[in-house]
Amino acid sequence: MMSKDVNLWVVIPAAGVGKRMRVNHPKQYLKINHKTVLEHTISCFSSNKRVKGIVVATSPDDEYWPELDIESDVSLFVAVGGEERCHSVLSGLEFLANKASVDDWVMVHDAARPCLHEDDIQKLIDELWLHGTGGLLGLPVADTLKFCGNNGRVKRTVSRDGLWRALTPQMFRYGKLVNSLKSVINEPNQITDEASAIEAAGYEPVMIEGRWDNIKITHPQDLDQAIRILHGQQGK
């Protein structure tokens, strides 16, 4: 049984510019069915009764966020994002400093993953709630992996045994995540996700297999795929 004394918070870093999308505004504000990608992402959590509050970390000069009219059954907050993802996440966590306890849970989720299914959220909750540290969603690597030199020629085939693709949400105890991020925040190139900060602090996150359709919108073709996935999830 879940403890009533521990809350679940969500932090969504949304200060990125998405250069690989080759568009003239951040990818989280591209439209899918008359709603932005970010609105779809927030809606994955906005009616979840387990979630105490959602913090969105936006760019200081974000001109799109104020134009959104987001309906949410969950309290929605805004924090000032930073130069890198890790800075935005830490800003969101620090916003919760007077709201969250050290043992509360925090789910950090990419702004550009609008296809997150409620089953994956529940899976994280069910499998991690009594864990001391936390874990993340992932998918085992299925493709053959090649290591190439600078000239683009294959040097060797790499074993995929034990290799996983890290997804989000990543769910960790508030206190451990804040302290882990702070300890490595001056080395942002080494922090590609929250789990890497947790690992650097000596903890071993739990890997939980997620759904294949929890895609991240990174390239232009990903938007079309997200549209198809959302239509499928909504039975259209």
CATH, residue 190: 3.90.550.10
- 223 within a domain of the structure (yes/no): yes
Structural domain includes residue 1 = no
How confident is the prediction along the chain (236 residues), in pLDDT tens digits per residue?
455 589 999 999 999 865 555 567 789 999 998 899 999 999 999 999 999 999 999 999 999 999 999 989 999 999 999 999 999 999 999 999 999 999 999 999 999 999 999 999 999 999 999 999 999 999 999 999 999 999 999 999 999 999 999 999 999 999 999 999 999 998 877 799 999 999 999 999 999 999 999 999 998 889 999 999 998 887 75
CA–chain centroid gap for 217, Å, is 12
Residue type at position 205: P
> Which pLDDT score, from 0 to 100, does residue 18 have?
58
Residue 169 included in any domain = yes
CA-CA-CA-CA torsion sign (190, 191, 193, 199) = positive
Q: What's the pLDDT tens digit per position in 145-162?
A: 999 999 999 999 999 999
Q: Give the CA count within 13 Å in the CB-facing half-sphere of 96.
A: 33
Q: Which two tokens stand for residue 148?
A: 């190439």
The phi, psi pair for 109, rounded to 5°, reads -135, 140
**pLDDT computed for residue 4 by the predictor:** 57
Question: Residue 104: CB partners within 8 Å, gap ≥ 6?
Answer: 6, 7, 8, 9, 52, 173, 174
Q: Which two tokens stand for residue 59?
A: 């760019």
Q: Is 3 inside a domain boundary? A: no
Q: What is the pTM of this model?
A: 0.93
Residue 35 counted as domain residue: yes
CA 234 to chain centre: 22
Residue appearing with tokens 């990419």: 110
The whole-number pLDDT of residue 19 equals 57
Q: Say if 148 falls within a structural domain.
A: yes
Cα 74 to its chain centre, rounded Å, is 18
* Count: domains in the chain: 1
Q: What is the pLDDT of residues 45-65, one digit of tens each?
A: 999 999 999 999 999 999 999
Q: Report CA-CA distances (Å) from 52 to 17, 91, 95, 111, 194.
A: 28, 18, 14, 18, 20
State the residue range of the domain holding 27: 8-233
Note the maximum CA span of the chain: 57
- Count CA atoms closer than 13 A to 12's CA, side-chain side: 26
